[in-house]
Amino acid sequence: MLRATRAGTVRRLASSLAPAPAESGTLLRGLTLAAAGSIAFSGKAIIVKLAYRYQVDAVTLIMYRMLFALPLFALMAWWSSRGKPALTRRDWLGVLGLGFTGYYLASFLDFLGLQTITASLERLILYLNPTLVLLLGWALYGRRIAHRQMVAMAVSYIGVVLVFGHEVRIEGAEAALGALFVFLSAVSYAIYLTYSGEMVHRLGALRLAGLATSVACVLCIVQFLLLRPLAAAEVAPQVIWLSLLNATVCTALPVLMVMMAIERIGAGLTAQTGMIGPMSTIVMGVLILDEPFNGWIIAGTVLVVGGIYLVSRRKA
């Protein structure tokens, strides 16, 4: 009798601790969206590297990517603005500034860097973004950086230096310049994240993303018109198809998936799930681009991902 009572108590306790079916389903959908969005984002570097094989330059390539993405982001901005107050002059200035730094400049510098470095190294450098946001918060607002976070940042940068040093020995000075461009891209996007907090609360994440990316698309198209003759738009058909794939599957769709994931599981868990990104880039780089896979890359990736996890993790 006593044994049966204890068994019933255990079953009731387990039932109370187990997540409700609806909550479990929401968690699973959120994790799936976050993982799929991260993998789709990481495919951008692979597609850019494939397009460079057809003798296209960064100005033309990013123009095509943003040309195809502009209708999608404009639709996103319109959809998320329905029933909302009109933007003030201050809002528009903020959108223009964030669109320039967070999407136009960051994207263009990234495309320049990918001309001379591997997709694996590019993804690891961009993955340093949380450390740059911490450093900007310290420099601009005097926010304290915990000792644990400083150690974690050092670990992450050591990981990038390992992969970077190995690549420079093989590729030379061009790889160093490419890595610098990608690092500046990460800095530009970190500036966007640092200054976007207030506007996200005021406009909403999806609306701000749609408006800022639309601004960036227009800037990339204008840049091409100013720097290149119209004849430069004549590229191999493969570049057009790769740019269309980049604009949809690796640009607009991941933005939506990540936003939907944040709604379901929160920004913290979405960011942690996004750590699958560097690994997926490395796998795709090896399988699709025949990029090297060795102990240097493995060690660097483990250090970068581990360090960023510690930087991003909140204290219990």
Q: What is the pLDDT of residues 28-56, one digit of tens each?
A: 888 888 888 888 888 999 999 999 999 99
Residues 6+ apart with CB under 8 A from 280: 38, 39, 42, 43
Phi, psi of 20 (to 5 degrees): -65, 150
Alpha helices (runs of H) in the chain, residue ranges in sequence order: 2-17, 21-51, 58-81, 89-98, 106-113, 119-126, 129-141, 147-171, 173-203, 205-227, 237-247, 253-273, 276-289, 295-312
Q: How many residues does the chain have?
A: 316
pLDDT for 240: 96
- Averaged confidence pLDDT in the chain: 84
Q: What are 197-242's pLDDT values in tens digits?
A: 778 888 888 888 899 999 999 999 999 999 999 999 999 999 999 9
Asked if pLDDT for residue 1 goes beyond 60, the answer is no
Please determine, for residue 4, whether its predicted confidence score (pLDDT) is greater than 80: no
Which two tokens mark 275? 């750590």
pLDDT tier, 134 (very low <50, low <70, confident <90, very high otherwise): confident
CA dist 284 and 300 (Å) reads 17
Kindly give, in sequence order, each residue whose CB lies less than 8 Å from that of residue 140, ignoring residues fewer than 6 positions away.
194
CA dihedral 283, 39, 312, 190 (to 10 degrees): 100
Is pLDDT of 20 > 50? no
Pick from 9-18, 54-63, 91-100, 194-203: least confident: 9-18
Looking at the predicted structure, is the pLDDT value of residue 270 above 90? no
* pLDDT at residue 314 greater than cutoff 70: no
- Give the model's pLDDT for residue 23: 65
14 compared with 133, residue with greater pLDDT? 133
Mean pLDDT within 263-274: 72
Greater model confidence, 16 or 144? 144
pLDDT at site 245: 95
Is pLDDT at 171 greater than 80 in this prediction?
no
Residue boundaries of the structural domains of the chain: 34-312
Pick the most confident of 11-25, 112-126, 259-273.
Answer: 112-126
DSSP letter for each residue of 138-175: HHHH-----HHHHHHHHHHHHHHHHHHHHHHHHH-HHH
Count CB neighbours of 284 within 10 A: 21
Check pLDDT > 70 for residue 158: yes
pLDDT at 114 over 80: yes
Which tokens go with 211? 């408006």
At residue 92, the 3 state secondary structure works out as helix
56-79, pLDDT tens digit by residue?
A: 999 999 999 999 999 999 999 999
